[in-house]
Amino acid sequence: MSREIFDICIVGSGPAGLSAAVNAHVRRKKILLFSGESGLSKVNLSPRVDNYLGFPAINGNDLYQKFKEHVEEFKIPLVPQKVQTIGPMDSLFMLQARDTVYESKAVIIATGVAAQKLIRGEDAFVGRGISYCATCDGPLYQGKVVTVLDYTGEGAEESHFLADFCSKVYYVNMTKKSPAFKKTNIEVITGDPPEEITGGDTVSTLKTKSRTVDTDGVFIFRETYPPGELVPGMEIEGGSVKVNRKMETNIRGLYAAGDCAGKPYQVAKSVGEGQTAALNAVAYIDALELADT
């Protein structure tokens, strides 16, 4: 079977990602859009948007539906999954989503910003017991105790997976759902939010509001990862992806747009940056192809 290589993979389907998709499609590039698990955007939460040109006093959800319809009209392929890691490999990028690896010449990150604040200690232990991807890091915890903090619902399935080889899985449910678990080594913690992660060289405990559990690792499932976790080596400045006016990151062929690329967190800025990123990604790919001929 021949390898399928995309021109541009777009990670995130908020205003920035959708705008990037429309513009890359108009320029006839082979694109793939990842929407995350919910397929929703921050703008869905806004009861009334007053500052998006041409649509005064529009409900955020209605505005988002208009954006989505535009993309659907162009039949842009959409994968309703979260990208877990993006690895630059020679002149291509490898994107892992669930169990599939996608290859792309350029990537646009449009993942927005996390609604929840980081948990105390989270930053300090990333890569030393904190992980955002069970498929990638789960096997490191064979026979150990892990804790899953689930804000999106995807942590339930990941807990099942981890329970196959970890001695114990604490499942901290921060969603409105009530998943059922048959495996006896999964303990559910409900209505008890996580407050702090502590440890020495690596993670050793998670403190919730009312108890402390000993744990070797903590897997966190939010709508959005801290951007630096998605792409190893990508420069971050003040918590946002560092970009120039072309929306280029420090990695060739990798672009960022929208809230993840910094303030102001606004729809119009996200749409504009999505377009800028897409057009520059198109120019980058065209230059690559010219160099190959």
Ligand X SMILES: Cc1cc2nc3c(=O)[nH]c(=O)nc-3n(C[C@H](O)[C@H](O)[C@H](O)COP(=O)(O)OP(=O)(O)OC[C@H]3O[C@@H](n4cnc5c(N)ncnc54)[C@H](O)[C@@H]3O)c2cc1C
Query: Which residue ranges make up the site for ligand X (CB under 6 A)?
Result: 11-17, 34-36, 38, 40-43, 45-46, 49-52, 82-83, 110-112, 223-225, 230, 258-259, 265-268, 270
Helices (H) and strands (E) in the chain, counts: 7, 17
Nearest approach in angstroms of CB 291 to ligand X is: 30
Distance of CA 239 to the CA centre of its chain: 15
Nearest approach in angstroms of CB 281 to ligand X is: 16
What is the C-alpha to C-alpha distance for residues 207 and 224, in angstroms, rounded to an integer? 22
Tell me whether residue 42 or residue 105 sits nearer to ligand X (CB atom). Answer: 42
Q: Take residue 282 and report the two structure tokens written for it.
A: 């198109």
Tell me whether residue 114 or residue 156 sits nearer to ligand X (CB atom). Answer: 114
What is the C-alpha to C-alpha distance for residues 260 and 270, in angstroms, rounded to an integer? 9
Q: What amino acid is encoded at 21 in this protein?
A: A
Helix (H/G/I), strand (E/B), else coil: 84:
coil
Tell me which residue of 209, 210, 219, 140 sits closest to 186, measured CA to CA. Answer: 219
Given a contact cutoff of 8 angstroms between Cβ atoms, the answer to whether 23 and 49 are in contact is no
Tell me whether residue 16 or residue 156 sits nearer to ligand X (CB atom). Answer: 16
Nearest approach in angstroms of CB 284 to ligand X is: 21
Nearest approach in angstroms of CB 278 to ligand X is: 13
What is the C-alpha to C-alpha distance for residues 282 and 285, in angstroms, rounded to an integer? 5
Tell me whether residue 11 or residue 189 sits nearer to ligand X (CB atom). Answer: 11
Nearest approach in angstroms of CB 201 to ligand X is: 28
Tokens 């913690």 found at: 189
Tell me whether residue 23 or residue 111 sits nearer to ligand X (CB atom). Answer: 111
